[in-house]
Amino acid sequence: MSLLNKLTVNGFKSIDSCELELQRLNVVIGPNGAGKSNLIGVFRFLNSVLSKQLQLYVGEHGGPDRLLHHGEKTTPKMSFRFDFGSNAYSFCLKPAVGDTMVFDWETIYYHDVRYYSRPWSLQIGAGHKETALHEAANTAGQGKRVAEHVLEGVQGWVVYHFHDTSSSAPAKKTQDIDDNRTFRSDAANLAAFLYWMKLTHPTEYRHVVEHVQLVAPFFDDFTLEPSRTNPNKIKLEWRQKGSDAYFDGFSLSDGTLRFICLAVLLLQPSLPSLILLDEPELGLHPFAITILSEMIEAAARRSQVILATQSVTLLNQFSPEAIIIADNDGLRTHFRRLTEQDLSSWMNDYSVGDLWEKNIIGGRP
């Protein structure tokens, strides 16, 4: 697994120009409207590009003028570059007729510094409406192997969102029992994935149960069985300590359901290469947020995590080196990492969260 070393973005929403070095754990803080969610949004956008849904994304978000930094007149193009391991992937988009966007260029890179002084690159297309990366990976010829590595790398970067806990939430619905290849970004296969974990990875399954019990002491265990009327289906059911009553996903509080989703994501046997979370603390009790931080740090030792947060409680659990501050000067979003100089005279007396609340390190309105 190759870590995403560097992210370069130009002209996307509030981000005029950004070149950000990334570590295993990256915690983005900032006030409302600073643009920290736009950093996570870069990867939502990338997910749409890789799914060949660029035009759908552009249409649903109001057209090119709403995506380009301060509109088409100010920013005629937007570009992205993702450097990971020996590979990189970049593309540039420009507006086209009919409120659409097309690729100005799309390029893949390979650079093994042990053998080559300069990177190898191949432009895989220009003027096309959807990514050409899949075709490059599936077509014999120059760049096939590099395209395969690039595609495999970027497809492992997933934005997870478990905010929907309404009566129609995907996690509460009846699910296909074999939908367990990966944990879905909206937890739409929560019961099926837990069932698979219980059968094939009992240790990791017990870890999930034990972490849920920490924040919900009444919780005993999940009841994971195929539906008696349709053995190809399963739904989330569970037991309460000291009770033989029936409980399912609709019986869980919003915060408990969100925590279960986060626990499954972060404690699963094989993690995605990059986990992206936008305000994962929403609806969680402060103690649950502390447990969440421990799971995040453990996941970052096996994978890579980027999260945006406004929680002082969550922020206080992480080392200063993990923190990225998002500020907006009224025109554009700036991202910067905390430095020793920022903290040297303060850390003996204050936590990072205290310094953020006092606006010592920035990232406040």
**pLDDT tens column, 275-308:** 999 999 999 999 999 999 999 999 999 999 999 9
Q: Report the pLDDT value the prediction gives residue 360, as an integer from 0 to 100.
A: 52
Whole-angstrom distance between the N-terminal and C-terminal Cα of the chain?
38
Task: Tell me the per-residue pLDDT of 112-155, one tens digit each, with 9 for 90 and over.
Answer: 877 777 889 999 999 999 999 999 999 877 789 999 999 999 99
Higher pLDDT, residue 116 or 55: 55
Per-residue DSSP letter, 324:
E
Q: How far apart are CA 280 and CA 317, in angstroms?
A: 14
Q: Report the pLDDT value the prediction gives residue 273, as an integer from 0 to 100.
A: 95
Task: Tell me the per-residue pLDDT of 162-206, one tens digit each, with 9 for 90 and over.
Answer: 999 999 999 999 999 999 999 999 999 999 999 999 999 999 999
Task: Tell me the per-residue pLDDT of 73-83, one tens digit each, with 9 for 90 and over.
Answer: 999 999 999 99
pLDDT of 357 over the 70 cut: no
pLDDT-based confidence at 2, cuts 50/70/90?
A: confident
Q: Which stretches within the chain are classed as H helix?
A: 36-50, 54-60, 64-67, 133-138, 144-154, 190-200, 202-215, 254-267, 286-302, 312-315, 340-343, 352-357
pLDDT-based confidence at 310, cuts 50/70/90?
A: confident
Q: How far apart are CA 116 and CA 349, in angstroms?
A: 49
Share the mean pLDDT of the chain.
91
Tokens 């005029």 found at:
16
Q: Report the pLDDT value the prediction gives residue 30, as an integer from 0 to 100.
A: 84
pLDDT of 362 over the 70 cut: no
Q: Report the pLDDT value the prediction gives residue 224, as an integer from 0 to 100.
A: 96
Instruction: Give 78-136 as a DSSP string.
Output: EEEEEEETTEEEEEEEEEETTTEEEEEEEEEEE--TTT-SS-EEEEEESS-SS--HHHH
pLDDT of 230 over the 90 cut: yes
Q: Report the pLDDT value the prediction gives residue 355, as an integer from 0 to 100.
A: 59
pLDDT-based confidence at 347, cuts 50/70/90?
A: very low
Q: How far apart are CA 148 and CA 129, in angstroms?
A: 21
Average pLDDT over residues 329-344: 78
Q: Report the pLDDT value the prediction gives residue 311, as an integer from 0 to 100.
A: 86
Q: What is the CB-side half-sphere exposure of residue 254 using CA atoms within 13 A?
A: 13
pLDDT of 254 over the 80 cut: yes
pLDDT of 350 over the 60 cut: no
pLDDT of 320 over the 50 cut: yes
Instruction: Give 53-84 as a DSSP string.
Output: -HHHHHHHTT-HHHHBTT-TTT-S-EEEEEEE
Which range (2-11, 88-97, 330-339) has the least confidence?
330-339
Of 162, 154, 111, nearest to 134 by C-alpha is 154
pLDDT-based confidence at 33, cuts 50/70/90?
A: confident
pLDDT of 349 over the 50 cut: no
pLDDT of 55 over the 90 cut: yes
Q: How far apart are CA 259 and CA 206, in angstroms?
A: 15
